[in-house]
A and B are shown apart, each in its own frame.
Chain A
Amino acid sequence: MTMTTAPGILIERTFKASPDEVWAMWTTREGLEKWWGPVGFTSTVKHLDVRVGGSFEIIMRATGSDQVAFLKSAGLPLESSAKGTYIAVVPVTRLSYKNIVDFIPGVKHYDVESSLELEPADGGTKMLFRSGMMHDTDWSQRAEMGWTQQIDKLVASLA
């Protein structure tokens, strides 16, 4: 099944590091904990099984004073988790996963698909990252059934 995503984002970055090193940032506990999550949050990898059908869970805890203050005032928990299932795992080249967004109170779960492609470039590594809502019928139906105004809270908390 071809999964195109819309609406979504596309980010291209070139790192001064080998594809192996960038891959490790995405696929190891040590790597992920160095960068994953929103600004003002500390991430801890709870579960990581990088293979097709395998899953991950990363706990993100607000540690920045602004973020803690905001979440408290909004009555939201300080800790949330990013959970996903790997769809494609081609070492050092391609990784894609389905992110189950289930941390928004009062909102039914929905899926976001993210993927990255790595290729060597100029002694470094070019990374192409895509992330977006799935628009398969399954997603649309769930979205139509479940989304509530709570998503605005998410948007606000990300702002």
Chain B
Amino acid sequence: MSALDNILVALADPTRRALLEHIGGGEARVTDLARPFPISLNSISKHLRVLEKAKLVRRRRVGREHLLSLNPVPLDEVAAWIKTHRIEWDSAFDRMEKALEKKS
């Protein structure tokens, strides 16, 4: 899979998006991140690995602690992808607008 695929897959899950929002607040410990979620630490770890694979999250080890932080750079790639789609639809709707004007 390409980098963009990894990012889209990572973002295509509500739990992972919620995790990103929490991590966005600054460096966070895995155990603290897991606390608000009604799922096991093990599944949180799995979600975090998906986010790390997409390079959306960085992990730093301090002794036994694993500290996670947000890396916003890959989001730019997604933004570009979405922008492309937006431009496509916008130009199609421009054509629709013209077609509608001709009718009236």
Contact = CB atoms under 8 A, between A and B. Distances in A.
23 contacts: A6-B12, A6-B17, A7-B81, A15-B96, A16-B100, A17-B101, A21-B103, A22-B100, A25-B96, A25-B99, A25-B100, A35-B93, A38-B88, A39-B91, A139-B12, A140-B13, A144-B1, A147-B1, A147-B2, A147-B8, A148-B5, A149-B1, A152-B2
Contacts, number: 97
B53 to A, nearest CB: 11
Sort A-B residue pairs by CB-CB distance and give the 9 closest, nearest first: A147-B5, A35-B95, A35-B96, A34-B99, A17-B100, A135-B12, A149-B2, A158-B84, A9-B86
Interface of A: 6-9, 11, 13, 15-17, 21-22, 25, 31, 34-39, 127, 129, 131, 133-135, 139-140, 143-144, 147-149, 151-152, 155, 158-159
Contacts of B30: none
B11 to A, nearest CB: 6
A36 B91 CA distance: 10
A9 B9 contact: no
* Chain A contact residues: helix, strand, loop or mixed: mixed
Interface residues of B, number: 32
Nearest to A125: B100
Given A21-B100, A34-B99, A140 B89 contact: no
Nearest to A4: B14
Interface of B: 1-2, 4-5, 8-9, 11-14, 17, 78, 80-82, 84-86, 88-93, 95-97, 99-101, 103-104
